[in-house]
Amino acid sequence: MSRIFSFSTRENPAEEQLIEIGDDAADPVCEALASNTARDVTAAIYQEPRTASELADYVDTSLQNVQYHLGKLETAGIIMDVGTAHAESGNQMTLYGPTHDPLILVAQSSETKPMSSEQLKDVLGVVGIIGVLSLLAQWIVTRIRATTVEVTFTGPGPEMNQPDPLWGLPAGLVVFAVGLILVAGWTWFRT
């Protein structure tokens, strides 16, 4: 059954959902995904929103079987009604789409949960800020050195170079390292 047009009542699924296998919230999810058909239906819906009849054709099963699994998946919070599709015959059909993108099931304790994409964005943002500050520090030190009066000696003798005041390391590298150490210490202290 082909669609003439469809519209969505929700543009994008919510951010990722992390479910720990040991949590009570995992029970309906695991139950809903227990069969191969339910997993095939879910995989098809995560590719693109589809109607029940499209899903029945896609996973090669009956419409009643797909509707049974859609009910369980919707109750578990894995999929939801995302809009309406209109068939050539004029009938309206529900489009199903994912509630979260992605849905992540983990089998580990809460102390060792993987980093979420939001946490990763936060870490990368902090590292970026530290990087900008280190570049700024290097630029300032370079400008200060460039504006100091240089004394040149003529004739034989050793060449006079100013040593780098920060253990022979570039100032920007020192600022970056200290910044990373401070952020790591602060993160460790918080946990």
DSSP assignment of 29-67 equals: HHHHT-SHHHHHHHHHHHHS-B-HHHHHHHHTS-HHHHH
Residue 139 falls within a domain, yes or no?
yes
Residue 45 falls within a domain, yes or no?
yes
**Shared domain check, 122 and 83:** no
**Shared domain check, 176 and 123:** yes
Given a cut of 90, whether residue 156 has pLDDT beyond it is no
Residue 112 falls within a domain, yes or no?
no
pLDDT at 109: 56
Which pTM was predicted?
0.53
Residue 35 falls within a domain, yes or no?
yes
**Shared domain check, 96 and 31:** yes
- Give the pLDDT mean for 149-153: 57
Domain with 177, as residue range(s), is 117-146+168-189
Q: How many residues does the chain have?
A: 191
Residue 175 falls within a domain, yes or no?
yes
Residues 143 and 159: their CA atoms lie apart, in Å, by 22
Residue 180 falls within a domain, yes or no?
yes
Supply the CATH number for residue 81's domain: 1.10.10.10
**Shared domain check, 142 and 79:** no
pLDDT at 14: 61
Q: Alpha helix locations (H) across the chain?
A: 26-32, 36-47, 52-59, 63-75, 117-147, 171-190
Domain count, the chain: 2
**Shared domain check, 91 and 45:** yes
Residue 136 falls within a domain, yes or no?
yes
pLDDT at 8: 45
| Mean per-residue pLDDT of the chain | 78
pLDDT at 158: 54
**Shared domain check, 77 and 98:** yes
Residue-wise pLDDT for 23-58, tens only, equals 787 888 889 889 999 999 999 998 999 999 999 999
Pairing label, strands 17-20, 103-106: parallel
Residue-wise pLDDT for 116-128, tens only, equals 667 777 778 888 8
**Shared domain check, 101 and 25:** yes
**Shared domain check, 177 and 102:** no
Percent with pLDDT over 90 in the chain: 21
**Shared domain check, 44 and 24:** yes
Residue-wise pLDDT for 77-109, tens only, equals 889 998 888 877 778 889 998 888 777 777 765
